[in-house]
């Protein structure tokens, strides 16, 4: 088995890993619906969105890996970053690694994430890093389309049958505590804001709440109360679920190093 790589702890690299890993793991969970969605159109929609997110993750991880070298460390390519990092070196928000759940969980998570990512890409389009700004200019159009699609489903399910409304309420209770982590700042955000690389994620919280709130209101869903609980995926301390995602995602490259087809 190839040795795991160690990634630069430079805040610029870490900020990019948070974005790239959140897209990558979110994509893995969406792609699990391939062949399992309730109707074929949604099967195609979920995997199309996963494909967009994988494309975004590839671009951001490629940039992170080349910046490692520019900042005086060892360069890594997108494949090394995806397949040869250990769980503790992934920087995705915990919310995206939770099991895909039922259709209500998937749609609510996708809606909340698409709104967040759209807001983030909008700001990153003005990043001081020209490559990141270019990636964001494309990704924002995709995130907008994802938001529109997922929002429609959240409304349809929340304001639907007794069963779909009950499932939607349960999804909201399950997922809500994990959203808070996204908007908690730390030194990585401070550095990104100072260098012009990107916004503090807390700066997106008000817009995110307003846009998601409008969808929830139309869906006749109440946002649950804030809780003290905080997940910590952005700092590399994950839930028990990420290990299983990585086992599946990394198995081939770990077992057959450099394997191609």
Partner 1 sequence: MIDAVVMPSARADPGTHERRARAWDVLRDVNDPEVPVISVVDLGIVRDVTVEDGELVVAVTPTYSGCPATEAIEESIVAALDAAGLGPTRIRMQRAPAWTSDWISAQGRAKLHAYGIAPPGPVDREAAAPLRFIARAPAPLACPRCASTNTERLAAFGATACKALWRCRACGEPFEHFKPI
The footprint of partner 1 (CB under 8 A) covers: 41, 44-45, 48-49, 51-56, 58-59, 130-131, 133-135, 137-139, 141-142, 144-145, 147-149, 151-152, 154-156, 211, 214-215, 218
Decide if 197 contacts 127 (C-beta within 8 A). yes
Report the nearest approach of partner 1 to the CB of residue 49 (Å): 8
Residue showing tokens 């969970």: 29
Decide if 203 contacts 150 (C-beta within 8 A). no
Report the nearest approach of partner 1 to the CB of residue 44 (Å): 5
**Nearest CB to partner 1, comparing residues 156 and 254:** 156
Report the nearest approach of partner 1 to the CB of residue 141 (Å): 5
**Nearest CB to partner 1, comparing residues 53 and 93:** 53
**Nearest CB to partner 1, comparing residues 58 and 85:** 58
Where b means 16+ CB within 10 Å and e means fewer, 65-78 reads bebbeeeebeebeb
Report the nearest approach of partner 1 to the CB of residue 248 (Å): 19
Decide if 231 contacts 181 (C-beta within 8 A). yes
**Nearest CB to partner 1, comparing residues 82 and 154:** 154
What string of DSSP letters covers 207-219? HHHHHHHHHHHHT
Tokens of 194: 């100072």
């Amino acid at each position: 088995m190839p040795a795991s790589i160690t990634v630069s702890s430079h805040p610029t690299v870490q900020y990019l890993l948070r974005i790239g890993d959140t897209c990558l793991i979110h994509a893995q969970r969406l792609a699990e619906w391939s062949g399992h969605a309730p109707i074929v159109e949604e099967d195609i929609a979920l995997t199309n969105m996963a494909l967009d997110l994988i494309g975004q993750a590839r671009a951001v991880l490629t940039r992170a890996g080349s910046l490692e070298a520019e900042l005086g460390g060892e360069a890594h390519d997108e494949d090394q970053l995806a397949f040869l990092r250990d769980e503790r070196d992934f920087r995705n928000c915990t919310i995206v690694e939770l099991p895909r759940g039922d259709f209500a969980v998937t749609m609510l998570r996708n809606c909340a994430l698409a709104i967040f990512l759209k807001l983030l890409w909008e700001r990153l389009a003005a990043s001081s890093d020209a490559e990141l700004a270019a990636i964001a200019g494309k990704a924002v159009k995709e995130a907008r389309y994802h938001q529109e699609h997922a929002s429609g489903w959240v409304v349809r399910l929340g304001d639907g049958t007794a069963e779909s409304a009950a499932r939607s309420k349960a999804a909201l209770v399950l997922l809500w505590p994990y959203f808070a982590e996204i908007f908690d700042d730390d030194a990585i955000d401070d550095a990104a804001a100072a260098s012009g690389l990107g916004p503090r994620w807390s700066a997106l919280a008000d817009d995110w709440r307003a846009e998601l709130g409008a969808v929830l209101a139309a869906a006749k869903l109440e946002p649950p109360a804030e809780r003290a609980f905080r997940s910590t995926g952005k700092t590399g301390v994950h839930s028990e679920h990420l290990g299983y995602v990585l086992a599946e995602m990394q198995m081939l490259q770990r077992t057959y190093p450099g394997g191609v087809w």
